[in-house]
Structure 1
C-alpha cells in the first residue's frame, strides 16, 4: 500500500533499524520505544489487523514473534518481554504489528499507560538492533540448522 509506513519499510523506501527478517515478516525497532529494544514485528504483505492475517500464515508469523520474544531479553539484559497486538484502537499504523517489549521487574510499566522513550542517537539504536538480530539468528539457526 503506497501510503503505509510499514509497507515502505518492507519495500526499503523508508529506513528502519532492522532487527531480523524472515519469510514471515520483518522485525525492527520501534522509533518511540516503551523501553530500549522494543521491537515491532510485521508481516510483509499489507494486512491491517490480526483477524485479517490468513490462517495459513499464523503459525509462521507467530513463530517469528516467539523467537524474537526469546532474543530480546538476552540482547537487552531484560528479564522477559511483553508481547501485544492492537487492532484498530491505538493502532497508530494501520498495518498488523506485534510489539515485543523488554521487561524487567520494577521497570515502572503499569497497566496500559506506555510512556515512550528515545534512543540517544542512531548509533545506540543500530547497536541494539544488531544485538537482538544476532540473538534471533542464533536461536533460528539452533532451531532449523540453517540461516533464513
Structure 2
C-alpha cells in the first residue's frame, strides 16, 4: 500500500466550490445553522478537496474564508488519521458524511461517518479467508471435544 498525505490547495478549492454545488449538491440543511456535509463517492486521496469545496460552497457567504479553512483543516486531519487507522489506501473508494454547526461565527464539525467501498473481488478473497479460518476453528473444536472424557 503506497503512503499518502493530505494536500491543501485553497485557491483551487475556492474556484471549484460553486461547480461542486452545481454538480453534486453536497449538503443538507438539517436545522438553522446545522448542516450535513457529504463528499459523495470519492477516491480516498481526494476526500479533503471535496470536503473543502463543499464547505466553501455552503458557508462561503456566511463565514470568513479563514474560519472555513481552519475548521475543514482540523476535520481533514481527523478523517485522515481515521482512514489510515482503518487501513484505507489512497486509491480506495470512500464516502464521508459529517454534521456541521455554526455557532458564534465558528464552524464546528461533528464525528465523521466514513463508508469504505471494497471491490467485489476483494470481498470474495476475504470471504474465502474467513471460511478457511472457520474450518480451522471447527477442526480444533472437534479435536478438543474428542479429547474430553
Higher helix share: 2
More relative contact order, 1 or 2 (CA 8 Å, 6+ apart): 1
Give the TM-score, by structure 1 length. 0.32
Which of structures 1 and 2 has the bigger CA Rg? Answer: 2
Give the TM-score, by structure 2 length. 0.31
